[in-house]
Amino acid sequence: MSNRKNAYTEVYTILEELDEEEYNKIPPEIVGTINANRNIEYNFELNEELELKEHQMLPETKAILFNLFRDYLATSEQKQKIIKMQNKERQKNELKKQQQYNTNIFENKAKEIKETEQIREKSHELIEYKENIFIKIMKRLKSFLNIV
């Protein structure tokens, strides 16, 4: 059996221990989905002498409980704190990814383009412009005809 199904069993066991008011804050569809997907052969027991955080739980269980708390059980003030905390964590993770994978691709590309443009400008400076022989003859003819 997968950890996910065992996590649902652990979550369902914990939800059954909530008082009725808290339990009713969680939509019945969510509780029904958790119940339908749990591993009924897996036995998870809560020790009433221990606090919830002291119990040995699967990481998936903790994640599900965290989301249930954030979405349904937390006060608006607690939700704000959780959302701020999650945003800070996401920003830290993004910064780590940027540092790890050095996503300065566009900066490097811009630098390369600038260098190639400078090389082109230098090569254009070295080329001396010479007038086409046909154009020279035409200009001379025009100037000769205007004079006469």
Band of the pLDDT at 8, cuts 50, 70, 90? very high
Say how far residue 50 (Cα) sits from the centre of its chain. 37
pLDDT of residue 139: 80
Comparing CA positions, the residue from 6, 20, 23 lying closest to residue 64 is: 6
What single-letter amino acid sits at 17?
A: E
Contact 38, 64 (CB under 8 A): no
Work out the average pLDDT over 99-126: 70
Work out the average pLDDT over 14-19: 89
Q: What is the largest CA-CA distance in the chain?
A: 119
Work out the average pLDDT over 59-80: 89
Contact 11, 64 (CB under 8 A): yes
**More confident call, 115 vs 88:** 88
Hey, how many other C-beta atoms are within 10 angstroms of the C-beta on 62? 16
Work out the average pLDDT over 19-45: 91
Question: Does the structure show a pLDDT above 60 at 103?
Answer: no
Band of the pLDDT at 126, cuts 50, 70, 90? low
User: What is the sign of the dihedral through the CA atoms of 8, 14, 16 and 18?
Assistant: negative
Question: Does the structure show a pLDDT above 70 at 97?
Answer: yes
Distance CA 8, CA 39 (A): 7
pLDDT of residue 55: 80
Distance CA 146, CA 143 (A): 5
Number of residues written out for the chain: 148
